[in-house]
Amino acid sequence: MSLTKINRQENEEWWRGAVIYQIYPRSFLDTNGDGIGDLPGIIEKLDYIADLDVDAIWISPFFPSPMKDFGYDVSNYRSVDPLFGTLEDFDTLLEKAHKRGLKIIIDLVLSHTSDQHPWFIQSRRNKKNDKSDWYVWADPNINDQGNPAPPNNWASVFGGSAWTYDKQRKQYFLHNFLKEQPDLNFHNPYVQEEILDICRFWLDRGVDGFRLDVVNFYFHDPLLRNNPTQTPNADFATQFEAETPYSRQKHIYDKSRPENLDFIRKLREVMDTYTNRFTVGEIGDDHPYDRAAEYTQGQSRLNTCYNTHLMSGTHKKLTADLIRLPVETFTKTKSESWPSWAFSNHDVVRAASRWHEEGNGFTQNPALSKLLIALLGCLPGTIFMYQGEELGLPEAQIPFEDLQDPWAKETWPIWQGRDGCRTPLPWNKENHAGFSSVRPWLPIPKTHFPLNIAAQKQDKNSTLNFSRRFLKWRRNHQEIIKGKIEFIDTTNENIIIFRRYDLKNETNCIFNLKNTNTETKDLKLGPYDFKIDGFNEE
């Protein structure tokens, strides 16, 4: 670990311009032979992560859970699911990561719990217990047939109504996602305090920050007003770009409520009682950039936010405007807020396939994969890389009978859901790609085996070695890490040109987003070629 890196990690705002590597623990490395990745697997491969020259690791949920949504349905916020290990394993992971100069960010799912959480089990018993109003309960409407009907028109992200009738309590409960994920009632001050205490629990253990799942979903309209109909041709509300009941609503009353900002302030107050801690919020909203800026404005809210609008769609053409418009919109009009960007994560189609225009949605081109690493790394803000992105892994095509994602089962065959980006990492060419000694929880596609980590380490021209070289170069360029950006107009949608600069240095960046030769500014670029001052010459 370089002295430069250690010094930077000690900086109070280490997260500004940092590269954060996301691990989906189920699919990272299995060490106990059950086909599911675990915390000891992350510990075993910390040197691999450190060698990427990233600053921090974001670990997706590892808490006890019935796994209806694979960890995003939490039944105990203060422990580790036995599938992943123990609290002692987590403490070891934290200690060994810190020794390597790596920060640890954990994924907190606070808007909802599992329906198996003791709080919900107690809440649904009756209307007069200590947890009766810890969730969002509402009396039914009565339809023309005299049967109970949902209190309003709110839709679930995953399909159907956002309300489920509970026969025991004779009321509906709210769930923005699966019915097994009931929403907490943040209007209850006791809920807020319990959530803040959970944050303190992990901060006291030494975590460096939180990724806050669907952070703008915490509060709902207490009057339960109907959402209005969405404007025709509006942007889609989720990464699934299709007409659904959810996308046909303006989400005014079911999320992004003004009361949420006061809770965010309370959370920031807790964070600020600890040293050098960090918050990044996941934003899903009809107006994502306005919302992200609102949630990060000033010194009393989140440090940064990112959203899925650079990650949406299943197979689409990559153009300059697709990158330029979001970045320029945020940086020009929201100058007080710090942006974050990602091209891939555990919820979306891998960028290497999504933007591989000449492919079929499950292919990749190493030249494009390298370009995407460089393009992402040259954008202004904090950068998030998803496991396998450094390898150029394509989206996996999953047979219907192997699908695990509940959203996939709702959208099949239009979309295979999120399983295609969640398949286990290929560590070598051996059985099960070195991920496990048994059949993994998701199948590893044949297209991933040639891209395994062991093989790429030996190939100086591999996407992995390119990623290492680029991130090492980036670390020594402050104009890239914290500087400003200026886009240069072109008449070619396949060319994106910008300069990154600060008071001392300037770096010019040109990217050919298409798999054909092109010329611009007296410069010839090959297919998926790019030029970055000072990098290509090294």
Beta bridge partners of 137: 173
| Domain membership flag for residue 58 | yes
pLDDT band at 243 (very low <50, low <70, confident <90, very high): confident
Which CATH number do you get for residue 83? 3.20.20.80
- CA 503 → CA 171, 235, 331, 356, 479, distances in Å? 61, 37, 18, 37, 8
pLDDT band at 238 (very low <50, low <70, confident <90, very high): low
Q: Quote the pLDDT of residue 536.
A: 76
- Both tokens of 192, joined, read 């807020």
Answer yes or no: do 400 and 501 share one domain: no
> Any idea which residues carry the catalytic annotation?
213, 282
Answer yes or no: do 160 and 273 share one domain: no
- Amino acid found at 173: F
- The neighbour count for residue 328, using CB atoms within 10 Å, is 15
Give mean pLDDT, residues 511-537: 90
pLDDT over threshold 90, residue 411: no
Q: Which helix (H) or strand (E) holds 176?
A: none
- Contacting residues for 219 by C-beta, under 8 A, at least 6 apart: 186, 187, 255, 257, 259, 260, 263
- Contacting residues for 441 by C-beta, under 8 A, at least 6 apart: 26, 27, 35, 36, 404, 424
Q: Which burial class, exposed, middle or buried, applies to 193 when counting CB atoms under 10 A from its CB (0-12, 13-18, 19+)? A: exposed
Percentage, residues of the chain above pLDDT 70:
95
Percentage, residues of the chain above pLDDT 90:
83
pLDDT band at 461 (very low <50, low <70, confident <90, very high): very high
Answer yes or no: do 363 and 325 share one domain: yes
Which CATH number do you get for residue 493? 2.60.40.1180
pLDDT over threshold 60, residue 212: yes
pLDDT over threshold 80, residue 414: no
pLDDT band at 537 (very low <50, low <70, confident <90, very high): low
Residues of the domain holding 518: 484-532
Answer yes or no: do 269 and 144 share one domain: no
Answer yes or no: do 315 and 287 share one domain: yes
- The neighbour count for residue 36, using CB atoms within 10 Å, is 23
Answer yes or no: do 150 and 197 share one domain: no
Give mean pLDDT, residues 335-343: 89
pLDDT band at 519 (very low <50, low <70, confident <90, very high): confident
Asked if 495 contacts 513 with a C-beta cutoff of 8 angstroms, the reply is yes
Q: Which of 49-53, 108-112, 171-175, 411-415 has the lowest mean pLDDT?
A: 411-415
pLDDT over threshold 80, residue 229: yes
Q: Quote the pLDDT of residue 239.
A: 62
pLDDT band at 522 (very low <50, low <70, confident <90, very high): confident
Residue 271 phi, psi (nearest 5): -60, -40
Task: Point out the domain boundary residue: 450, 475, 500.
Answer: 475
Answer yes or no: do 333 and 416 share one domain: yes
Asked if 316 contacts 360 with a C-beta cutoff of 8 angstroms, the reply is no
pLDDT band at 1 (very low <50, low <70, confident <90, very high): very low
Strands 141-142 and 137-138: unpaired
Number of domains in the chain: 3
pLDDT over threshold 80, residue 521: no
- Contacting residues for 114 by C-beta, under 8 A, at least 6 apart: 65, 66, 68, 73, 74, 75, 120, 180, 181
Answer yes or no: do 449 and 495 share one domain: no
| Domain membership flag for residue 370 | yes
| Domain membership flag for residue 471 | yes
Answer yes or no: do 337 and 357 share one domain: yes
Q: Quote the pLDDT of residue 125.
A: 97
- DSSP assigned state of 308: G
Cα–Cα dist 528/155, whole Å: 41
Strands 171-174 and 163-166: antiparallel
pLDDT in tens, 98-107: 999 999 999 9
Give mean pLDDT, residues 147-173: 95
Question: Going edge to edge, which strands form the sheet with 171-174?
Answer: 137-138, 171-174, 163-166
| Domain membership flag for residue 226 | no
* N- to C-terminal Cα separation, the chain: 21
| Domain membership flag for residue 230 | no
- CA 421 → CA 34, 108, 346, 439, 444, distances in Å? 20, 21, 6, 18, 11
Name the residue with higher pLDDT: 274 or 5. Answer: 274
Give mean pLDDT, residues 125-131: 97
Give mean pLDDT, residues 504-528: 93
Strands 506-512 and 495-501: antiparallel
pLDDT band at 231 (very low <50, low <70, confident <90, very high): confident
| Domain membership flag for residue 180 | no
- CA 21 → CA 18, 48, 52, 155, 262, distances in Å? 10, 12, 9, 32, 30
Residue 384 phi, psi (nearest 5): -115, 125
Asked if 474 contacts 480 with a C-beta cutoff of 8 angstroms, the reply is yes
pLDDT over threshold 80, residue 2: no
pLDDT in tens, 20-38: 999 999 999 999 999 999 9
Which CATH number do you get for residue 166? 3.90.400.10
pLDDT band at 3 (very low <50, low <70, confident <90, very high): very low
Q: Quote the pLDDT of residue 331.
A: 80
Determine the Cα angle at 386 with ends 385 and 388, to 5°.
115
| Domain membership flag for residue 183 | no
Asked if 426 contacts 453 with a C-beta cutoff of 8 angstroms, the reply is yes
- Contacting residues for 244 by C-beta, under 8 A, at least 6 apart: 155, 159
Answer yes or no: do 260 and 138 share one domain: no
Q: Which of 77-86, 114-123, 400-409 has the lowest mean pLDDT?
A: 400-409
| Domain membership flag for residue 27 | yes
pLDDT over threshold 50, residue 164: yes
Q: Which segment, 11-20, 70-79, 229-238, is predicted with the most confidence on average?
A: 70-79
Cα–Cα dist 149/151, whole Å: 6
- Contacting residues for 24 by C-beta, under 8 A, at least 6 apart: 37, 60, 346, 386, 387, 422
- Amino acid found at 147: N
* Best CA proximity match to 343, nearest among 352, 356, 334: 352
Answer yes or no: do 107 and 142 share one domain: no
Answer yes or no: do 145 and 130 share one domain: yes
Upstream peptide bond of 413 is cis (omega within 30 degrees of 0) = yes
- Both tokens of 379, joined, read 């954008």
Give mean pLDDT, residues 401-408: 89
Q: If you average pLDDT over every residue of the chain, what do you get?
A: 93
